Amino acid sequence: MARLAGKVAIISGAAQGMGAATARLFAAEGAKVVLGDVLVDKGEAVAAEIGENALFVKLDVRDEGDWAKIVAKATERFGKLDILVNNAAITHFGAAEDLRKEDAERVLGINVIGTMMGVKHAVPALKANGSGVIVNISSVDGMRGCNGLVAYTASKWAVRGMSKSYAYEYGPFGIRVVSIHPGGVNTEMGNPGGESVADVNNRSFRRVPLQRIGEPEEIARTTLFVCSDDASYITGAEIAVDGGWTAGHYEPALPGAPAHLQG
């Protein structure tokens, strides 16, 4: 059974990575999908691959005009809006004392203001529909601190917090809001060097309980669940999809512990 049959979804940052995986999965589960991104060629290619149930619209999430346009096109083409997935994000790595104001503003503009503007422009259509779901993609770094990622971490804590506020504000209108917190994911952001999965796992993921990087489809499947009727009583929640990364800090086992605990 198609879990999103008859639903219409807008997905930002949908030209590649988790956004593209989410768009493909939603369409396979019966949804009409509107893909937004600044990467026009890639976004149009994903929409063409999905077929007639997909539409690409150029979207800079910092631009209110772009948000107004994508919501209008979604409702004109498919008649309504049921789901918003705020997925678009960037990162910035470096020492805190080297952080330039313009870099901080770019990270916060896309990750925080972009999410706010998406909600602002989607909510009237969701209210008109009488129900809806908003999924804001945060990060494990929205649940902890991370060395060298102060601007990104600040942005993802903000996404986590605003999601809870939105859940309160829009729950009375039948709109559910959830933040999803991926760990390391095998995308251009999570694996910028394009290393093999085996090399990435050996280098960076031995400390994660499942001892591997995640795949974009695994995040997409969680987003699908949240947006489906199976999650009808879930709102204001934060869901970590991180292979157990946020469960705690890995420590070597004590001498005499079973072999599988020796690391």
Beta strand ranges found along 88-224 (DSSP E):
132-137, 175-182
Of the residues 152, 168, 233, 250, which is catalytic?
152
Give the model's pLDDT for residue 121. Answer: 98
Q: Is 152 a catalytic residue?
A: yes
Per-residue pLDDT tens, the chain, 263 aa: give them: 699 999 999 999 999 999 999 999 999 999 999 999 999 999 999 999 999 999 999 999 999 999 999 999 999 999 999 999 999 999 998 999 999 999 999 999 999 999 999 999 999 999 999 999 999 999 999 988 888 899 999 999 999 999 999 999 999 999 999 999 999 888 878 777 777 877 777 777 888 899 998 899 999 999 999 999 999 999 999 999 999 999 876 555 555 545 554 44
CATH classification code of 8-261 = 3.40.50.720
Q: Where do the domains of the chain lie?
A: 8-261
The amino acid at residue 205 is: F
